[in-house]
Chain A
Amino acid sequence: MRAFTYERAGSPAAAAAAVATQPGAKFIAGGTNLLDLMKLEIEVPTHLVDVNRLGLDLIETTPDGGLKIGALVRNTDLAADMRVRSDYPLLARAVLSGASGQLRNKATTGGNLLQRTRCPYFYNTDMPCNKRKPGSGCAAMGGLSHNLAIVGASDACIATHPSDMAVALRALDATVETVAADGSERHTPLADFYRSPGETPHIETVLRAAEMITSVTLPQPLGGVQIYRKVRERASFAFATVSVAMVAGSVDGDIRVDRLAFGGLAHKPWRVEAAEGAARSAEAIADIVLAGAKPTADNAYKLPLVRRTLAAVIAQAKSESAR
């Protein structure tokens, strides 16, 4: 690990100012992704600003009936919150499907959104990777890509975003609140938060330098049947190969998909609005989702997996809405 200096911030704006003043500085929250990458010298911050004790660990009801989740709320506390469990079960389920009990006790809402990809070549500093070293090439193309993207990728990068929580937040129309070094605040819909890889896969979000996430806000509860189904290579403690976040209602015994987002398919949580708002068969939904898919030989298995997972989720939605 490269040497760095460390400080504890006194307020969110002071934290942003501290990161702004020192070139190469970064925020540290739970540390569960950043420290892993620092040990491998994939992340090489010169200065760490600890944002853990700034009182950003509260979940508050908003005046319009939504929920404001502090950026430092731990994944365990988010999923255990009774309001989240009863009003946003999709979010509780997604968070609980990720990582392990130990990691969720540390992992924060802000850090989870900003975790980096698990592409094996991003982690292997001996190999070319445009995301880790812009312009060096992409070893995943023609290499091991079984867990990488089939939609929304670019010629520069086919990585996936690993977060489960972000998939649920995308389906629920969450907004990300941030503060900059000068104290100014911004609200960014999660829909606009992540960038497509394009020619610059190393720039993953619209966050500006030294901008700190302070909270994530959910609009009013949606109701309906909410399902997060994660398919992975072992029953627990593994990243998604494909995950489906669905909010559904029923019309005359058919399932109407109100919200639909996927994990494991793209560079960002992949919402498919074109498949929302109508009752369609799982096959018809899959046709919409997979139109324009460009799998590699290694990950073409995700095409049938998306179809089958959707069929299972629709069947589950049917049986849950019949209850």
Chain B
Amino acid sequence: MHLGKFILIRATQIVVSFFIILTLLFVLFRVAPGDPASMVIDPQMTPEDVEVTRALFGLDKPLYQQYLICLKNFVKGEFGSSFYYGKPVIEIIGEKLPNTILLFTTSIILSALAGISWGKVIAWRRGSLLDSSVTVIGLVSHTLFLPWIALLMVWVFAYWMNLFPLSGMITPELWLNPETGITMKVLDVLHHMVLPLSVLFTIHFGGFMLIMRSSMMETLKEDYIVTARAKGLTERQIRERHAAKNAALPVVTTLGLSLAFSINGGAITETIFSWPGIGRELVFAVSNNDYPLAQIAFLLIAALVLVANLVVDVLYAYLDPRIKY
């Protein structure tokens, strides 16, 4: 009915926006000076080699033709091959994306959960020492300079205290050993995840907590909280059933978009922790003018953000009965 129609309209909007974004990306990347073939500085590359390479990438054709080919392939579901890797873009993304999701999406979920639960507690005890100290901690951690905190944590926990691996996602020696069981491997990955996850958690936690706190403060001013108290509900019941449920709504929006954006990973975190994710690949692709890869990666993010927006809206309607489409 209403919601169905709404979703349909929004889905069409998404498809249209998607192609607009595709076009913009196409233009943006080609407008940037330098093409991937002529950018190579190698004494062995003859001018003929450069021409051959350009033809290989389809860069010898006029721009409008390149664009049409790009569109055609896109509709056919072919996303092309990376100039740099020579492999289909989908393969590269399929290789890196799970790693990114494992780290970044997990970190968003964990920090959102922790942020929500802490935010509601400190809002409940607003003005207390707990509230002021946790708020300050949240603010500080939210504004921390990521490379700094990451390197510091690596240095302290991985190098100095030797509790965690310095970087990477697995211990090669362990994985190369045929006797290593699957549990060990899973634990090994978890072990590698602890530090980067802690860093990301530190960075994201504060944001969620502060949003939840202020939202909760607003909610606590509402009369239905007093009503709930008059009904004889325990403080805990009031906080969880009446206040937190309503206060969590704005966090849902933030969370939805953060989750969508989390799949582009973070080049800095990935670089410092040598985490084989998509973020570094993306930066690399952009600076190498690896159009197909960069284009698809950005499109993927755009698509996810668009869809996440829709999901958030629908979810909102579901969570908040006041909203109707």
Q: Do A and B bind each other?
A: no
